[in-house]
A and B are shown apart, each in its own frame.
Chain A
């Protein structure tokens, strides 16, 4: 277990390093001089050079990268060009929207998909299974932004149950904020739920045919013990893998959905920052999102260890 943990931790650190290098180099070679953006078109070459020196832009790639990482680890990171506040603060305030949005979406997907998948597997090819499979197919085929707009049309415009977008802020209205995240997290969760339902079903179907499940029945165990302990513990292993892999797509989906619902989250921030050429913001948010995905996959690896003794003990 310790060896496994250490190995996974090392992987985590190496991955973070590689991602930071990649993010930094991509934005480094991209055209667009931050000094020019800050000072505008009419700046004299002299002031430009001064600002470059001040920002460290005249240094070599390595030094600039090292400075950046150093500022991330010790201080408050870079300053946003556009908002003139540390990017850290921006990320933190926007995370208060995107974090709950992503967590709601994942929780919704898991809570829906596990029971549905197990049910469908237990009733393979029966009407219930066919209906579940139909809806997951529908869920898979529905783009997030389209579903988002449809939900707004129905629940906000037609029935007036929800507001059509926007976010009051947690300190202003807790319930209002939670309510504002409900439709977008549903829109974001439906695809995830569909994928996970189908995966749970097929994984469960496979496991239910295994010899050890036959043994479990032959021992006279109750149905719920056979299904929810002996079978599910094995069937969850591939489901957890895919759940981890979904995180990246969830981040991408969040950017779109936040724009559909006018939510002041990370996705909207990065979207606007790209338009405004606010490179430090773009860089740090991309790094942050990648780090979040890597971290969630680290958690997934730990979950494996809990589920599978072959991982835990070797």
Chain B
């Protein structure tokens, strides 16, 4: 493996709510190498956004609390940085784009100013220098008549265009890591493809790493090199993108893969949300003794309810959190 850029080690994040303590991220570890695209997949509510917000140091506290773990970025533990030092990394070394471009840009501040802001704050550019450079970036992400759009406000642009603006804004300081949290979920299919292509292009050009969060395996297939599958705050499977599509091990991953519309099919509109696995994610406030997926798993047997499986090596670079690994005979015949 090449050089590590980001290393999360044993991260646990809890939310202290009136109804109990919700363990949104449970002892999660992951690595992102320089130039790599890591895909983080899972149903909604399984802790993907909380993971990304922990990296940015933006977990609302209270009610959130990081209970344990380290987040090493270029060897520095982000969790130990003071607020000012963390602020200098945000938007400069690590940038983020979000799911809803329509609500993620400030409605009363001009596009130009919003894109130029990181340059003024992190690079100390003057207003006019920053606006010049912002124009360049808006052209770069293929916004027509970029110079004119500087004075426009978000309500004047379409969702796809706004996501391009978000990308430009995230890129201006040439970050080493881009976190994209469901960047295309809110967009039409045709626009989705354009935005993904734009992101791949920029990633190659800047040599940055990408943490791509999605619940859409189609997006994963197109973008990622390495995949993590998350369920109820935990990593349940980890493999390369080819391996995950060829030989998914965890019943949850298999379920997710079955529920996507056939590739090349005439699926119009958005790829369907991954809701087709029977049952729902358990409440995060619940204390579950065994495997968190046991209630929804077609292969569940007694051990699954007694003890939580560990993330075990299936093969080189392929790991899964499932007792079937030690009891392969239980996986046959069923379903």
Smallest CB–CB gap between A209 and chain B, Å? 9
Residues 207-237 of A, flagged 1 when their CB comes within 8 A of B and 0 if not, give 0001110111111111001000110011000
Query: For chain B residues 117-147, which have a beta carbon within 8 Å of chain A?
Result: 117-118, 121-122
With A212-B104, A212-B107 already in contact, the answer to whether A220 and B90 are too (CB < 8 A) is: yes
Contact partners of B231 in chain A: CB under 8 A = none
Interface size class of B (residues with CB under 8 A): 20 to 34
Partner of B108, one of A215, A216, A225, A307: A307
With A212-B104, A308-B108 already in contact, the answer to whether A217 and B88 are too (CB < 8 A) is: no
Contact partners of A308 in chain B: CB under 8 A = 107-108
Please measure, in the bound complex, the distance between the C-alpha atom of A314 and the C-alpha atom of B11, giving whole angstroms: 48
Contact partners of A222 in chain B: CB under 8 A = 87, 121
Decide if A310 touches B155 in the complex (CB within 8 Å): yes
B40-48, B91-99, B284-292, B323-331 - interface stretch: B91-99
Residues 279-314 of A, flagged 1 when their CB comes within 8 A of B and 0 if not, give 000000000000000000000000000011110010
Please measure, in the bound complex, the distance between the C-alpha atom of A210 and the C-alpha atom of B169, giving whole angstroms: 18
Please measure, in the bound complex, the distance between the C-alpha atom of A216 and the C-alpha atom of B98, giving whole angstroms: 12
B244 at the interface (CB under 8 A from A): no
Decide if A211 touches B98 in the complex (CB within 8 Å): yes
Please measure, in the bound complex, the distance between the C-alpha atom of A217 and the C-alpha atom of B122, giving whole angstroms: 13
Decide if A215 touches B88 in the complex (CB within 8 Å): no
Decide if A217 touches B90 in the complex (CB within 8 Å): yes
Q: In the complex, how many residues of chain A place their beta carbon closer than 8 angstroms to a beta carbon of chain B? A: 22
Smallest CB–CB gap between B126 and chain A, Å? 16
Contact partners of A218 in chain B: CB under 8 A = 56, 58, 90-91, 95-96
Contact partners of A221 in chain B: CB under 8 A = 87, 91, 117, 121
B157 at the interface (CB under 8 A from A): no
Contact partners of A229 in chain B: CB under 8 A = 109
Residues 75-95 of B, flagged 1 when their CB comes within 8 A of A and 0 if not, give 000000000000111111001
Contact partners of A210 in chain B: CB under 8 A = 103
Please measure, in the bound complex, the distance between the C-alpha atom of A225 and the C-alpha atom of B89, giving whole angstroms: 17
Contact partners of A230 in chain B: CB under 8 A = 106, 109
Decide if B91 touches A212 in the complex (CB within 8 Å): no
Contact partners of B166 in chain A: CB under 8 A = 215
Decide if B92 touches A220 in the complex (CB within 8 Å): yes
Which of B56, B109, B122 is the most central at the interface, judged by chain A CB atoms within 10 Å of its CB?
B109
With A217-B58, A220-B92, A222-B121 already in contact, the answer to whether A234 and B108 are too (CB < 8 A) is: yes
Please measure, in the bound complex, the distance between the C-alpha atom of A49 and the C-alpha atom of B4, giving whole angstroms: 103
B153 at the interface (CB under 8 A from A): yes
Residues 21-56 of B, flagged 1 when their CB comes within 8 A of A and 0 if not, give 000000000000000000000000000000000001
Smallest CB–CB gap between B148 and chain A, Å? 13
Decide if B106 touches A215 in the complex (CB within 8 Å): yes
Partner of B153, one of A214, A215, A217, A313: A313
With A214-B58, A309-B153 already in contact, the answer to whether A220 and B121 are too (CB < 8 A) is: yes
The residue in chain A whose Cβ has the minimal distance to the Cβ of B105 is A212
Please measure, in the bound complex, the distance between the C-alpha atom of A230 and the C-alpha atom of B98, giving whole angstroms: 17
Please measure, in the bound complex, the distance between the C-alpha atom of A308 and the C-alpha atom of B56, giving whole angstroms: 30
Decide if A219 touches B153 in the complex (CB within 8 Å): no
B7 at the interface (CB under 8 A from A): no
Q: List chain B positions with a Cβ less than 8 A from chain A.
A: 56, 58, 87-92, 95-96, 98, 100, 103-110, 117-118, 121-122, 153, 155-156, 166, 169
Interchain Cβ contacts under 8 Å between A and B, 27 examples: A210-B103, A211-B103, A212-B103, A212-B104, A212-B107, A214-B98, A214-B104, A215-B98, A216-B106, A217-B56, A217-B58, A217-B90, A218-B56, A218-B96, A219-B95, A219-B118, A220-B88, A220-B92, A221-B91, A225-B121, A229-B109, A230-B106, A230-B109, A233-B108, A233-B109, A234-B107, A307-B108
Q: Which 4 A-B pairs have the closest CB atoms?
A: A220-B91, A220-B90, A219-B91, A309-B153
